[in-house]
Amino acid sequence: MTIDHILAGLYVFSLAAFLGYQIISKVPQLLHTPLMAFTNAISGISVVASILIAGRHSEHLLIPILGAIAVASATINVVGGFVITDRMLKMFKKKEAAK
């Protein structure tokens, strides 16, 4: 890994952290629980790293097994996280529902 790669990665991290801070500070308290469920779901994007580990050629059987467990854990977060975020967001209504 060259210094360019490392710096590029750190650039991305710093900018994303800054942007994330700006955006997340604007999320009202009302939506804090959905926010947690949502960021949890999108951080399940680690599933892409797990997929590469589970699927690429490997000498050791242990590696795809670890990869598959990682794929499963991350997928639970992604799928469950989105489903639950949606359930919560659907409930937030501005006007009283007609009886």
Partner 1 sequence: MIGLLASLFEGAAVGGMEPRVAVYRVALFIASLLFLVGLRMLTNPETARRGMQMAVVGMVLGVVGTLVHKDIVNYYWIIGGLVVGTVIGIPMGLLIPMTKMPERIALSHAGGGLAVALVGIAEYYGGHVHGRFAMGAISFEVLMGAITFTGSLMAFGKLAEILPGKPMTFGGQNAANFLLLAGALAGMVVLVLHPGLSAVFYALVGVSLLLGVLLVLPIGGADMPVVICLLNSYAGLAASASGLALDNNVLIICGALDGGSGLILAMIMSKAMNRSFANVLFGAFGSDAAAAAGGAGGKTGSVREGTPEDAAELLKIAQNVIIVPGYGMAVAQAQHATRDLASAVQAAGANVKYAIHPVAGRMPGHMNVLLAEANVPYDQLYELDAINEEFERTDVAIVVGANDVVNPAAKTSPGSPIFGMPILNVDKAKAVIVLKRSMKPGFAGIDNDLFILPQTMMVFGDAKATLGKITAAMKGGGH
**38-97: contacts with partner 1 (CB under 8 A):** 38-58, 60, 62-97
d(CA 57, CA 22): 41
Q: How many residues bind partner 1 (CB under 8 A)?
A: 85
Provide the minimum distance between the beta carbon of 81 and partner 1 in the complex, in angstroms, as a whole number.
6
C-beta of 60: minimal distance to partner 1 in Å? Answer: 7
Does residue number 98 form part of the binding site for partner 1 (CB under 8 A)? Answer: no
Residue 4 touching partner 1 (CB under 8 A): no
Measure the CA–CA gap between 43 and 35, rounded to whole angstroms: 12
How far apart CA 34 and CA 85 sit, in angstroms, is 5
Residue 70 CA, distance from chain mean position: 14
